[in-house]
Amino acid sequence: MLPKLPRETLLDFCRRMLLIRRFEEALVGLHDAGHFSGHYHVYIGQEATGVAGLSCLESGDYLFTTHRNHGHLLARGADPRRLLAEILGRRDGYNKGKGGTFHVAAPELGFVHTSGIVGGIIPLAAGAAYAAKAQDSRRIAVCLFGDGALEEGAAAEAFNIASLWKLPVLFLCENNGKYGAGRSVGAAPSLTMAVHPLIDLPRAYKISAQQIDGIDSGAVHQAIFDAVATIRQGDGPRFIEAQTVRWPGSETNWPVVPAPTEVAMAWEVGSVPTAARDWYRISDPLLLFIRDLVEARQTTREEISELDRNVRGIIDDAARFALSSPFPEPETALEDIFA
Amino acid sequence: MLPKLPRETLLDFCRRMLLIRRFEEALVGLHDAGHFSGHYHVYIGQEATGVAGLSCLESGDYLFTTHRNHGHLLARGADPRRLLAEILGRRDGYNKGKGGTFHVAAPELGFVHTSGIVGGIIPLAAGAAYAAKAQDSRRIAVCLFGDGALEEGAAAEAFNIASLWKLPVLFLCENNGKYGAGRSVGAAPSLTMAVHPLIDLPRAYKISAQQIDGIDSGAVHQAIFDAVATIRQGDGPRFIEAQTVRWPGSETNWPVVPAPTEVAMAWEVGSVPTAARDWYRISDPLLLFIRDLVEARQTTREEISELDRNVRGIIDDAARFALSSPFPEPETALEDIFA
Amino acid sequence: MRELAYYEAKLEALSEIMAADDRVHLIGGSFLSLSPRRMLFKKIEEMYRDRVISPPISELGFCGLAVGAAMTGLRPVVDLSTGSFIYEAWPQIVNEAANAFYMSGGRTRAPVVFHLLHGIRGAGAAQHSHSPQAMLWNSPGLEIVLPSSPRDVRGLLKTAVSTDNPTIFVDHIQLFETRGPVPESDDPIPFGRADIKRKGNDVTVVATSYMVQRCLKVAERLGVEGVAVEVVDPRTLVPLDFTTILSSIEKTRRVVIVDETHRSCGVAAELAARILEERFDKLKAPIRRVATLDVPIPYSPPLEDFVSPSESRIIEAIQSVLR
Amino acid sequence: MRELAYYEAKLEALSEIMAADDRVHLIGGSFLSLSPRRMLFKKIEEMYRDRVISPPISELGFCGLAVGAAMTGLRPVVDLSTGSFIYEAWPQIVNEAANAFYMSGGRTRAPVVFHLLHGIRGAGAAQHSHSPQAMLWNSPGLEIVLPSSPRDVRGLLKTAVSTDNPTIFVDHIQLFETRGPVPESDDPIPFGRADIKRKGNDVTVVATSYMVQRCLKVAERLGVEGVAVEVVDPRTLVPLDFTTILSSIEKTRRVVIVDETHRSCGVAAELAARILEERFDKLKAPIRRVATLDVPIPYSPPLEDFVSPSESRIIEAIQSVLR
Ligand SMILES: Cc1ncc(C[n+]2csc(CCOP(=O)(O)OP(=O)(O)O)c2C)c(N)n1
Ligand SMILES: Cc1ncc(C[n+]2csc(CCOP(=O)(O)OP(=O)(O)O)c2C)c(N)n1
Ligand SMILES: [Mg+2]
Ligand SMILES: [Mg+2]
């Protein structure tokens, strides 16, 4: 289902989703070519939540995210050049190369603090909501985390406080189905989480919670739009679980691209290795969105291809920029310890 | 309601509850007389859970308890002399004076480790249950904690693991209504816990949970007897919330005895200061049990008074013993760091 | 100059801070913990109902909440009461708050204050007697404050709230009844300024927190015997005023360090190592550390006294460096 | 003697331990973490399905569970993988496990092993590069083990599982490919026995964990220039074999300490302070510490290298004490 929004907006969603997809695919290439070495995670397969979901926020809102943050930043308009430079540890990165892939922070976009500690941001987001409420601002806080974060006690503690104090925070759980970082397959009910469905946990804390199809941009947009409205109104926290199917390329500890996305795959996934074919055919929010757009006559295959060429250009340029950005001077390691 | 048990057993319950009551009342006196100085907590008002509840255990079972442990130990047959000596920091204490009131451990009675950290024992008890299961023993673990412990993330994490791995553990939450240690009054729904009723939390983790009247020895005995049976059978963890009304003497940071218990108060609380009168009349598990016993013709007022004289004698003797036990040699502080 | 008890100076600072800046929220309401004076805090609580909030027993949760609120415009002061409870919140303090400014390349600030009462309070036993400041000093990104007098607690608390960094305010319940001069209109005390609490030429005793008061007592006694002890109080470990410590040592050339953290990798170890890197050749005797012995804190009073940096151990150490 | 890679020796020890004692349960299944060799652990996992269990992302919960299981008859070995994650379990480790034996007056034992990979792994940034062993040394009641060679990892892991105390097994992923001799039937290596990894008369370098290998490289290079460096590896911090360290110092009278914990209140601080207490007068030069700078670990490679105890910083320190 397509979000009920003007064509321009839908095309903009499509552009952002493509931008995320191409950014992440390029990133895997840059990693495998040895341009950066550390552990990293990509957002492929969750673009609907990042784009359609976060489009419901206002510019003053706060966002807290995790090791899987790239898509969230791009969805909110981050500059791919500076984002990539950060991931490559370069001087022109959002954080001068000090943060890297796990810790991209961009306060001007609302990204206050990004943590690689599972569950770490959940109390922090409640804190931003506490501040917003104390300052009588209309801001809300959005906390983006994976299903695994619910296994950390920090989540339970933060849910309790957010509920007791009616804090304006949206807990947006991106359940990408199977667990990340080499953990055992979490079939439902999962091997590592007794709570099933997951929304039973926030509900125990009297937080109204809802499960949605994270592949369906329309469903995502509607649910998050409504949730944000009630939160901003002062009705307290909300919890949304956006369910997606893990991208096959994220099943290993280090991402691998089973098949680079072709927009044409929205109609014909023939070229894709069988293993991954099902995913691209039925579980890919991007290709699904494109298919719906075209079928709804909101755009044409040609326009999509044009958009894609355009996005690839932006990514190529971002790669050139990041690769030519110098590494920071070693001595700068001694700066920014204290304000 | 009286537990459906032989008269001897009921009288034994009565004796143990009285022992706890007299022990704790004497303890307050010893503290106020300056025989020990640290922060401490008494078990008055929860005797039914300690005595009728823990009577359902076998001798091999493991118990983990908290800052409010005295009653649990006495209920399981701890020697009042050594218990008191420990609380006074003397050489003959259960732990040579190293543990003190918060940390009385008596492995021979099943008390492996007693923690003053709220929530600290919940994962530990799950661990003992894990060991029992791994060793195919029929042992189970019992975790005794207050309502406040549910506010700690450790509880949520332990519930999840215990449920996933079907561990033989009884989570026995003693909800004494109002919070301890000078915290704000936790009217239901509490100011510090959004989960209400509390059993919604373990239930979210698929742990079967039940709320009982912790003042009623019969209800306590039946519920815990049944729970222990299913756990021992291998059906996984259970959660029981035993609700009691906080003893007025425990509302302040340091216990004060509003009125020393008289067994005659089972019939006439006239002598009690009005503030505390209601508690002794309707919320005291000990006096209620005595009243039921007598009304059920299981005993007589005389027999009860005799029992009480007897118990007072034991406590006086324990006090003499503890006060005459020497302090440990200072150098012994350097022993028992490593096994 | 007017004299105040330590707890009075602390409460005065808290009220003045609350009055001066409504970005300050107090999370957790027992800044006087279990002390008999604790009820006095109620006044502040009632005066600022909307800015004093009592959280659940969820240290990890409410400390994280305070950090997040600090990142977004407030200046929360969190009371952890017993210092040992900071361990429940360890990940939020050492891995979120301490790193936020650095990881963001200097873009995100977390001006939060964590207040706690460290050390041997009397029968706190192994689980309620911790002094976490050494561990915290090993975690870059945190300011660490250790007041030891009425004037210091007032002046340092004000600065703690005003800096833009996460600050650990490490207090000690045994200090509460200490009396001392506190000027009516006293300026905040800047971080990184050690204070010579007592002048003397024979030996430099570097002491922190409650140990400062204990060392002043000892110095008094030794003074009678003609030994002139100089007591130097760093007041803040991060930032550290090493210059004042060194110039005292230049003068006395004998050093004893008295601190309540456990000996191994404790505060005294760091100070000793640094002093020796800088003034190795100047010293007339090996530095002596008087720290809490490497033992969990026992409950029984005589044992507790045995493991702590007692007056007798301090005196013995001072005499040994004078030999 | 046969030669093995470090990861092979470690896996061999794990299999032998699992085969020898069915009280041993492995909680958390990534003893090789993210290393390319990690799949090799699967063999053990499949061989002992009932004794290798993969917990939820609940470090506080499963570390506490392991402690409780250890108190009641098992010998769990917990894998925390990245060392930074031990902070999530801090209360269970420093306030329950470390105190259990002492608080109970010697009646409750917790023979649990916590395995973790500490330090700078490469682009781990501020939140995944911690070396918690200094903080842990400040917490009495924990044994702390730091292997640095294939033979040591095998022999020390076996001892870790056999002692009756909570033990922190602090490994380093950068060691995994190191090759070295490992006798077929090797005895467990007792705790508290330092190992002289290289003999030399000019300067004593005390190094731990991965820094031992780095210092051996440096010693090799300086050897060519005619400087004889002795590399002493304590192997366990608790218990500490101080005698071996001191006798090396007796000989060289010059000391450099190289360790990856942050400088302030770090492992090097404690070793320096102790050495100076014992051999103050014997030293010809101030002790130099080469530790990780007091900075959160930056992500960018050149910055990461700048803050770590690099070869160049080690060489500079050795040369300065030789002057
Ligand atoms: C406290 C903590 N424990 C463990 C890890 C290692 N880790 C990194 S990602 C991850 C899986 C997280 O799963 P989920 O929250 O569902 O996020 P996903 O990767 O699936 O998006 C784990 C265990 C961590 N980063 N922090
Ligand atoms: C982690 C931790 N935080 C705070 C405390 C201080 N404290 C001691 S008892 C207590 C109240 C506990 O309430 P509850 O669990 O209901 O037990 P009760 O005293 O009511 O029996 C608190 C907050 C503590 N001991 N541990
Ligand atoms: Mg996931
Ligand atoms: Mg309670």
The secondary structure of residue C281, as a DSSP letter, is G
What's the gap in Å between D149 CA and the centre of ligand 3?
36
* Residue A189: per-residue pLDDT: 61
Let me know: does A39 contact A32? Beta carbons within 8 Å: no
Sort C1 into a burial class: Cβ within 10 Å, 0-12 / 13-18 / 19+.
exposed
Q: Considering only CB atoms, which chain B residues are within 8 Å of C126?
A: 98-99, 103
Find out whether the beta carbon of B181 lies less than 6 Å from any atom of ligand 2: yes
Pair C79, C115: CB distance under 8 Å: yes
Question: Does residue A121 have its Cβ closer than 6 Å to ligand 1?
Answer: no
Q: What is the pLDDT of residue B337?
A: 98
Distances (CA, A) of A316 to A47, A89, A256, A310, B41: 20, 18, 19, 10, 67
> B151 vs C126: CB contact, 8 Å cut-off?
no
Interface A-D, measured as beta-carbon pairs within 8 A, has a size of 106
Q: Tokens 């309540």 appear where?
A: C260
Predicted confidence at residue C241, as pLDDT, reads 98
Annotated catalytic residue, options D59, D96, D230, D260: D59
The tokens describing A87, both together, are 């991931």
Predicted pLDDT at C24: 98
Q: What is the pLDDT of residues B70-100, one digit of tens each?
A: 999 999 999 999 999 999 999 999 999 999 9
Q: Which residues of B touch D91 (CB under 8 A)?
A: 117, 120, 154
Active centre residues of C (catalytic)? 59, 128
> What per-residue confidence (pLDDT) applies to A181?
36
Are D306 and A333 a contacting pair at CB < 8 A?
yes
CA nearest to B154 within chain A: A153
Q: Chains contacting B with at least 3 CB pairs below 8 Å? A: A, C, D
- Mean pLDDT to the nearest integer, B235-256: 94
Higher pLDDT, B269 or B250: B250
Instruction: Please provide residue B180's backbone torsions phi and psi, each rounded to the nearest 5 degrees.
Output: -90, -175
Q: Give backbone dihedrals phi and psi of D179, rounded to 5 degrees, phi first.
A: -105, 150
So what's the pLDDT on residue D283? 95
Give all strands (DSSP E) within A137-258, no chain letters.
Answer: 141-146, 169-175, 208-213, 238-243
Full pLDDT tens readout for chain A, 339 residues: 999 999 999 999 999 999 999 999 999 999 999 999 999 999 999 999 999 999 999 999 999 999 999 999 999 999 999 999 999 999 999 999 999 999 999 999 999 999 999 999 999 999 999 999 999 999 999 999 999 999 999 999 999 999 999 999 999 999 998 544 333 444 456 889 999 999 999 999 999 999 999 999 999 999 999 999 999 999 999 999 999 999 999 988 899 999 999 999 999 878 788 889 999 999 999 999 999 999 999 999 999 999 999 999 999 999 999 999 999 999 999 999 999
CA–CA dist A270, A256 (Å, integer): 19
Share of chain C above pLDDT 70, in %: 100
Say how many Å lie between the CA of residue D60 and the centre of ligand 2.
18
Place of tokens 């489009």: A55
**Tokens matching residue D63:** 């570390």
pTM confidence score: 0.98
Of D27, D33, D57, best ligand 1 pocket probe by most atoms within 8 Å of the beta carbon: D57
Of the listed ligands, the closest to the CA of C92 is: 1
- Reading phi first (left if > 0) and then psi (alpha if -120 to 50, else beta), residue D123 is in left
Q: Kindly report, residue by residue over A124-168, the tens digit of the pLDDT.
A: 999 999 999 999 999 999 999 999 999 999 999 999 999 999 999
CA triple C259-C261-C267, angle to 5 deg? 65
Please report the pLDDT score of residue B184 as a whole number.
Answer: 41
Find out whether the beta carbon of A180 lies less than 6 Å from any atom of ligand 1: yes
Output the six-digit token pair for C269. Answer: 């170890």
Give the whole-angstrom CA distance, residue D16 versus residue A283. Answer: 45
Are D57 and A151 within 8 A, CB to CB? yes
C-alpha to C-alpha distance for C263 and A10, rounded to whole angstroms:
64
Per-residue confidence band for C186, with pLDDT thresholds at 50, 70 and 90: confident
Say how many Å lie between the CA of residue B174 and the centre of ligand 4: 7
Q: Which residues of chain D have pLDDT under 50?
A: none
- Ligand 2 pocket mutation pick from B67, B178, B245, B252 by most atoms within 8 angstroms of CB: B67
Identify the burial level of B233 via C-beta atoms within 10 angstroms of its C-beta, where 0-12 means exposed, 13-18 middle and 19 or more buried: exposed
Name every residue in C having a CB less than 8 A away from some CB of B: 30, 34, 38, 54-58, 60-61, 84-85, 88, 122-128, 293-296, 298-307
Q: Rounded to whole angstroms, how far apart are CA atoms C69 and C72? A: 5
User: Nearest-CA distance from C291 to chain D in Å?
Assistant: 11
For residues A84 and A97, give the distance between their C-alpha atoms in angstroms, rounded to a whole number: 10
Residue appearing with tokens 């983006």: A144
* Upper half-sphere CA count for residue A126 (Cβ side, 13 Å): 28
Q: Is B210 exposed, middle or buried (0-12, 13-18, 19+ CB in 10 A)?
A: middle
